[in-house]
Amino acid sequence: QQKVQQSPESLIVPEGGMASLNCTFSDRNSQYFWWYRQHSGEGPKALMSIFSNGDKKEGRFTAHLNKASLYVSLHIKDSQPSDSALYFCAENTGNYKYVFGAGTRLKVIA
Amino acid sequence: EAAVTQSPRNKVTVTGGNVTLSCRQTNSHNYMYWYRQDTGHGLRLIHYSYGAGNLQIGDVPDGYKATRTTQEDFFLLLELASPSQTSLYFCASSGHNSGNTLYFGEGSRLIVV
């Protein structure tokens, strides 16, 4: 069974700081990866996807993928209080089953 | 943005009771999913479907049935609810490519007493 491990479980960063979230996966056949963000009381929403090795930048958010190392990360630059949320990484091996990690709870303090 | 609507948003039932959670998506997506969210476990897949009449087993299916009646509608059924099924349930949908993003509803909170 596919497994996705996220770290850390929780993270506190100062406003304007850098937040780094990590994810490892177990299936070398995994092809597609996402980061989802969930604010309190809402459903998860896709933040960004990454399908190729290397970095992908969207505004203040940068995702990094290394399939050989079974590793994906998310870096949030210039963190804002509105970034405080639960973050999930998710993978898909191409079989339409999306597997999620347990989540990282990020708190950005002013 | 894709729209996925769940009902009810909150439900309390007794042990042994019957519960049906409903989900409707209005984006003509082929795939629909039911997940449960529990602290420490993240989102775990219960059942999913690629079209009307189809059902695929997820990773935590025990105690749950599901039915996809139309392309838009996907139902999760708990026929003998147990306290272990107290959870936050999410429905999601996606298009027909594996690289498609999942779109989630707002969730249904179920408490089994």
pLDDT at res. A62: 98
Burial class of residue B4, CB neighbours in 10 A (0-12, 13-18, 19+): buried
Burial class of residue B90, CB neighbours in 10 A (0-12, 13-18, 19+): buried
Phi, psi of B33 (to 5 degrees): -140, 150
pLDDT at res. B2: 58
The model's confidence at residue A2, banded by pLDDT at 50, 70 and 90, is: low
CA distance B37 to B42: 5
Percent of chain A with pLDDT over 70: 98
pLDDT at res. B24: 98
Task: Tell me: pLDDT of A33 over 80.
Answer: yes
Neighboring chain A residues of B40 at a CB cutoff of 8 Å: 102
Residues of chain B with pLDDT under 50: none
pLDDT digit string, tens, across residues A56-70: 999 999 999 999 999
Q: Do B42 and A102 touch (CB under 8 A)?
A: yes
CA dihedral of residues B62, B64, B67, B71 (deg, nearest 10): -90
Task: Tell me: pLDDT of A1 over 90.
Answer: no
CA distance A104 to A101: 9
Check: CB of residue A65 under 8 Å from CB of residue A48: no
* Closest chain B C-alpha to A98 CA, distance in angstroms: 8
Q: Do B98 and A49 touch (CB under 8 A)?
A: no
Radius of gyration of chain B (CA): 13
The model's confidence at residue A42, banded by pLDDT at 50, 70 and 90, is: very high
The model's confidence at residue A31, banded by pLDDT at 50, 70 and 90, is: confident
Task: Tell me: pLDDT of A100 over 80.
Answer: yes
Q: Which residues contact A46 (CB under 8 A, 6 or more apart)?
A: A34, A35, A36, B101, B102, B103
CA distance B68 to B50: 9
A89 to chain B: nearest residue by CA? B42
Q: What is the DSSP string of A36-75?
A: EEE-TTS--EEEEEE-SSEEEEETTEEEEEETTTTEEEEE
B103 to chain A: nearest residue by CA? A45
pLDDT at res. A70: 92
Q: Provide the mean pLDDT of chain A.
A: 94
